[in-house]
A and B are shown apart, each in its own frame.
Chain A
């Protein structure tokens, strides 16, 4: 458990960016894309509010005088499912999904949202990848061995009743480690976080970095993805001495300068900054990408803003530098 960031209000961390002009332009565009309901759609051309872009956008706009954060937070509170989880988008079925961890982190500062956050955290603790069940553990150990992994090490699925994957596990770890204490029915938090960390370390690709879920399938090593690797590294910030983490940071540092697309580049900046590696050149590459303001994908637009304001972004994820 990490307790070092819980007292910091990420909406109050001042903006420090290498390029304030670009950032303010992008934040203005992000603000324009906010829907009347308070949420954001995944694509600029869409009007279906979704949780992932709403969380990134609310966090990106948090310290700017633009946008309406209160409306975004109200939207999040009103879309929570009765079971404590969040749907992927407004109108979705109500069993809950992987975005619950993002919603919990986005409501971190809001006092009236404490009951909703607690319900969300309870749901996260109860949501287990299928390999956490004894029967599937046994099956993966005996009959189904084409994918190399240790089923004793489990995390979170994208969607209930499926196995653990890297991104939902990393986001869940980030959300749960911001909890001030593991009491009031949340006693299992340290256990779940530890299993999740073990799962991430177990599923890394052989040369470092992470693919979507596993490192080896049918005997073939899978290639790491920059964004999956970066998100996993954020969750493993306090495990910097682990050889897997060091190899993965090295991989990300190698691949970072070759990235020419904003989503992966933005995640790489955040993860490398979290692991105290130089990011100035990567930030320059990011602001030099063409047509940033007209990116159709609002998730990416918001993430670029977070990468340009990386210190505040890291505090959002509970990472202190």
Chain B
């Protein structure tokens, strides 16, 4: 069979067109492989929000070789809105215990910072959720990330197609960022853990309440771009009382009795997912982030403290996410 010059040109054009269409899907969308060789996760038992949290957390933090002496530590809890009786927010007593521990470890300063996603009146959320009283009592500075000074930051991944975001100066200038999520299911993204918690650093004054641009660009994609750009140094996840069902606001309280600490947000979220009875590989942002941000495989995670056993009954989810259940 002979190939004419015309056939060759048509074939070449078809090949070029095919490559143009498929290349964006095949090329990596992250700029840098940031994965550590190994990650460490500690699961701590804590049945209630009590004064003993200080000791439990301090003992847990000693399992990690953290040096924060002289550094500015930013604690980023999940503080979205307040609905009486709903386990929406990271409990303030856990945040206080973390602040106390980091101060004892020699931090230059400890700041609590959040940009609530639903409520424009940040002081109202702080007041109703008990944060205001706790932070005032311990003289801990709070920064409203919805209204902080903003700096234009190029994104270090391109899952959303956005090139940059305006992000709060306080977050970008912190030396050690601790994501402190509430372990919850989420009706749009399956789960909301340490990586999804980073939506709170996106300023509402610039992007609205909720941060709707991130929903339109894709929640999973936005999580990946954001976490590639703003590295989470440590995770303290509140699973003492978690949330299942129609999270992040209207789910049911689910007592889990655990605090999860980790030096890698991907390892933290994969472990939390297992504790919820989910298969982490089925959660898009965890699976994808394990390619460049951190480790999700148990083989690459040094597990200390309690074991990451799945619960007797997995966390309930909205019907679209039943495929997350590991069994």
Contact = CB atoms under 8 A, between A and B. Distances in A.
Interface residues of B, number: 30
A159 B120 contact: no
A262 B144 CA distance: 15
A94 to B, nearest CB: 12
A307 interface: no
Contacts of A227: 120-121
A188 to B, nearest CB: 23
Contact of B119 (A46, A97, A159, A225): A225
A263 B123 contact: yes
A211 B118 contact: yes
Interface string B227-252: 00000000000000000001001100
Contacts of A50: 205
A48 B249 CA distance: 33
A248 B206 CA distance: 28
7 contacts: A42-B205, A159-B212, A211-B118, A219-B246, A220-B250, A228-B120, A261-B121
Nearest to A51: B205
A218 B318 CA distance: 8
A98 B208 contact: yes
Interface in B194-226: 205-210, 212-213, 215-216
Interface string A214-234: 000111101101111000000
Contacts of A98: 208
B38 interface: no
Contact-residue size bin, chain A (C-beta under 8 Å from the other chain): 35 or more
A212 B210 contact: yes
Interface stretch (A7-15, A70-78, A161-169): A161-169
A167 B118 CA distance: 12
A225 B121 CA distance: 9
A52 B205 contact: yes
A167 B127 CA distance: 22
Contacts of B212: 157-159, 162-163, 165
Contact of A218 (B121, B144, B187, B205): B187
Contacts of A272: none
Nearest to B209: A212
A130 interface: yes
Interface in A87-139: 88-89, 92-93, 97-98, 130
